[in-house]
Amino acid sequence: MSNKSSNQMWGGRFAAGPDAIMEAINASIGFDQRLAAQDIAGSQAHAAMLAAQDIISDSDADAIRKGLFTVLSEIQGGEFQFSTALEDIHMNVEARLKEIIGEPAGRLHTARSRNDQVATDVRLWVRDQLDAADQALTSLISGLLTQAEAGAGWVMPGFTHLQTAQPVTWGHHMMAYVEMFSRDLGRVRDARARMNECPLGAAALAGTSFPIDRDYTAQALGFDRPMANSLDAVSDRDFALEFLSLASICAMHLSRFAEELVIWSSAQFRFVSLSDRFSTGSSIMPQKKNPDAAELIRAKVGRIFGAHVALMMVMKGLPLAYSKDMQEDKEQVFDAADHLILALAAMDGMVRDMQANQEALAAAAGSGFSTATDLADWLVRTLNMPFRDAHHVTGALVALAEKRSCDLPELSLADMQSVHSAITEDVFSVLGVENSVASRVSFGGTAPEQVRAQIANWKGRLAI
């Protein structure tokens, strides 16, 4: 096949032929320019270390330092011209540095490879995202605690299979998400501690013959220590995978809550009102107030899960040490981080703005025979009935209430005694939803006193 016909098959975008295709598939500057601040920070630390070790002169190091500040200021000011021909952020920065300071720029890459350079840059970037996630999760948990404290004693239905199960409190429900997001926060902090080792100085894969000081650069960049194996240092992306894993779990928690907010804000439930800041109207139906922010949070889980799976697939077959496949780590991590932080901010805003409808919550709490378990427990405690027998008696009473089109508390004592003669007036003390939630005093239960104790505990732990 001729080159002309091949070019036609590739289409207009690659009409220039194989060189254009190779440049397009090889270049990463279109996305890794986001690493500019981290790349320049790594280079600043590396140059300072080279000078401290007498590998380059102090004057060259000073020129490099000043030149890199100029490059960073150009990038941050939007004046920098990125070049696809220079492939990546590292070569773009180095080329511009040479234009600014001349010959000393060529000494910057002494005792360093793009392999350990990119590993350091991405690690620094992910560490920044972990810090951002820490702040976002802490703020979200604080908002949930505020909601829980306001409604520690408000009754609402607890669900299993999305059907009324037992009464709980609004505060208890909010605190369930505090627990979930606190585990996400723990994963963020664990991951940050585990990944805080510095690859810089591993060079291409085997270290370097220059007398570098890896502790110097690690400390300068805020790492706890240098990575102990040069092969691992340039080929490890566990830290990125762990970030994507914890992001996926956190996004799943966000999605679960978002699903509840979609349901709760519907006309059929009316449990909550979401603010106009996080809702939209319909283009045709004037009565509609759509929970778009919650729905979009729910949707973003897919792309975060996808990023995790995609990078796992990239890494699963790679021999040591570096392979170009690993260039595919950045877009996945960038996209997942962007959408996780955005989803956390949106959920935080919704939680702080939403108004619970206490009246609708209470009405729903008493429907669907929600105190049936309390009745069964009363039969066990008061009449010393085996639980399985109590379960059977309660089921018969529920059936009777259904037949009478009423709820359990609305049955008369005579109705109840028609099912079991030993039932007394005292049974009505457990059939109210307020009494039901107040009785759940076991640790972690829904009783308001337990909820308030957990709120105080979390406020203390987070110093809120």
- Closest-CA residue to 344 (of 265, 247, 462): 247
CA-CA distance, 22 to 16, in Å (whole number)?
Answer: 11
> Strand pairing partners for 158?
166
Half-sphere exposure of 461 (CA within 13 A, CB side): 15
| 203 exposure class (CB count in 10 Å sphere: 0-12, 13-18, 19+) | buried
Q: Which of 161, 209, 405, 421 is catalytic?
A: 161
Q: How far is CA 442 from CA 86, 446, 447, in A?
A: 64, 8, 8
- Whether 412 sits among the annotated catalytic residues: the reply is no
- Whether 161 sits among the annotated catalytic residues: the reply is yes
In this structure, what token pair is assigned to residue 28? Answer: 């990463």
- Closest-CA residue to 294 (of 347, 250, 225, 342): 347
> What is the torsion angle, in degrees rounded to the nearest 10, for the CA atoms of residue 436, residue 437, residue 439 and residue 442?
140
Rg (the chain; Cα; Å)? 31
Contact between 325 and 312 under an 8 Å Cβ cutoff? The reply is no
Q: Which of 6, 83, 266, 282 is catalytic?
A: 282
CA-CA distance, 279 to 384, in Å (whole number)?
Answer: 53
Q: Which residues of 67-88 are buried (b: 16+ CB within 10 A; e: fewer)?
A: bbeebbeebeeeebebeeebbb
> Strand pairing partners for 428?
none
- Closest-CA residue to 86 (of 130, 34, 12, 27): 27
Q: How far is CA 86 from CA 29, 79, 96, 119, in A?
A: 8, 17, 11, 19
Asked, as a colleague might, if the bond just before 321 is cis with ω within 30 of 0, I would say yes
Residues annotated as catalytic (active site), given as ranges = 161, 282
